[in-house]
Amino acid sequence: MERTNTENISVDLGITRCGSVEFIWGMRTYVMGIVNVDPASFSGDGLAGVEDAVEQAKRFVDEGADIIDIGGESTRPNAEPLPADEELRRVMPVIEKLAGILPVPLSIDTYKSEVARRAVEVGACMINDVWELKRDPGLARVAAEKTVPLIISQNQRDSSFHDFFPELIDSLKKSVHVALDAGVAWENIIVDPGVGFGKTVDQNLEIVRRLNELKVLRRPILLGTSRKSFIGYTLDLPVEERLEGTAATVAIGIANGADIIRVHDVKEMVRIAQMSDAIIRRKSTER
């Protein structure tokens, strides 16, 4: 299998505006802190109470998070779909309490356009769709109408690959065009290879290793490896012991072009990102 040639691609990703914040891509790696208000979260960090979620978000910001991603439905394999009204019951009070008091943007992690619309109306200013616009293409219309950034995460749970990496890139490319056709601005599209969503352990490792090939899409790349099962299988470790494995994937991911890392352990991963940036994005000036 031939790899996509990205060695000579120089990509100016420009600036994405999210609320009052500007993300200047290429300057540094941005950190997205995960706030799960689903008690059944795969990572063991699910929060049942609104106040617990609010306090965790505040702590993440103190630890250096650039974005807070709020989700109400588990993304673990074989999880029962959550009705939109129950998802709204979980996420809306958290967004309402955090909107206006945090200096960083709030993202809503959902694949339902109804949930996304309501969340944006009360203060979220980014939409994170883990189903790549396949479950509800209306999400793209919400992002376009509300003029908010849209994260498109590749998801292969309903089908299988024949030629893995080219098909992954092609899938994202098609979803990007769906977003553009719905009116989403080019600068408001962020892509995510969807580690863990219908991929094998080897495929997830390959994503981290070949992440730079996603540069052909010419959009910022989000990488979400935090605590995921491919780390557990590789190291034979339970979810609560995957910090070091996550750190390795984050550092290598940044070296291979990640612009945003989505993580549970914000303090530690902020430090990993800062050190990686000091090596990878270092300017010529010396201290």
Q: Which of 118, 134, 227, 228 is catalytic?
A: 228
- Is-contact 246 269, C-beta < 8 A? yes
Report in angstroms the alpha-carbon separations of 270 from 65, 151, 158. Answer: 7, 21, 34
- Is-contact 147 124, C-beta < 8 A? no
- Enumerate the β-bridge partners of residue 24: 15
The span from the CA of 104 to the CA of 32, in Å, is 10
Q: Is 262 among the residues known to form the active site?
A: yes
What lies within 8 Å, CB to CB, of 194 at 6+ separation is 130, 132, 153, 154, 155, 156, 168, 224
- Is-contact 76 82, C-beta < 8 A? no
Q: Which of 134, 210, 227, 262 is catalytic?
A: 262
- Active site residues per annotation: 228, 262
